[in-house]
Amino acid sequence: MSLTATTRAHADPSSWLAFGGGYGIEHDSYTRFNDRAPVFSATLGVGSSPRAKIVAGGVLRMVTYFSLGTDLGLAARVATGGFARGDWGVALDAGPVARWWDGGNKGRYPIQTVLTLGLPWGLQVAGGAQLWNIAGAPNARGGFAALELDFLRFTVMRQGSTESSWPNPAPAGGRDAAFLR
């Protein structure tokens, strides 16, 4: 046996890279009014094999509330296999957000949950909510909704219902006949 012998690696992670826009509302604890703004969202993440029924991973999410500020979040993600393969499915993200704008009046480090409905062709609809504040009062109360395009779900991850009209020659995770329709 040689110390330099290698075996073939089988690392087939799921991956996500989405951008989109929508609308958000954040409650200001100082003025006691709700601030509304258009939003831009961007998500980057990686997870376990897309061939599994349930995929676990993590995401970095940025949500910019135009005229207010930008949230940066790190979250755990649980998704269905269909979502990971760029077909129909759902994903749930939960984790802390850093919000260094508006003097902390909208919560400095809220917990954010995001539910994302995945559609074929990499399209997805995301709805997020921020609650509580890890740093103490004032608590965050707000949320956003966005229509997004996940470029990796649209290209390298894509399998399933879209294969009949545009076959993916080498989907990440490998070809599985069960995913063809």
Q: Across residues 81-109, what is the average pLDDT?
A: 94
Between residues 172 and 80, which one has the greater pLDDT? 80
Residue 162: predicted pLDDT: 86
Query: Residue 161: its pLDDT value, please?
Result: 86
- Predicted TM-score (pTM) of this structure: 0.90
**CA–CA distance, 132 with 152 (Å, rounded to integer):** 32
- Per the listing, tokens 């399998």 go with 159
pLDDT tier for residue 7 given thresholds of 50, 70 and 90: low
Work out the pLDDT band at 177, boundaries 50, 70, 90.
low
Which tokens is 24 given?
A: 């958000």
Tens of pLDDT, residues 132-149: 999 999 999 999 999 999
Q: Which residue has the tokens 């949230």?
A: 71
For each of the domains in the chain, give its residue range(s) and CATH number, in order of start. Answer: 14-160 (2.40.160)
Better-predicted residue by pLDDT, 2 or 154: 154
Determine the pLDDT at residue 108. Answer: 94
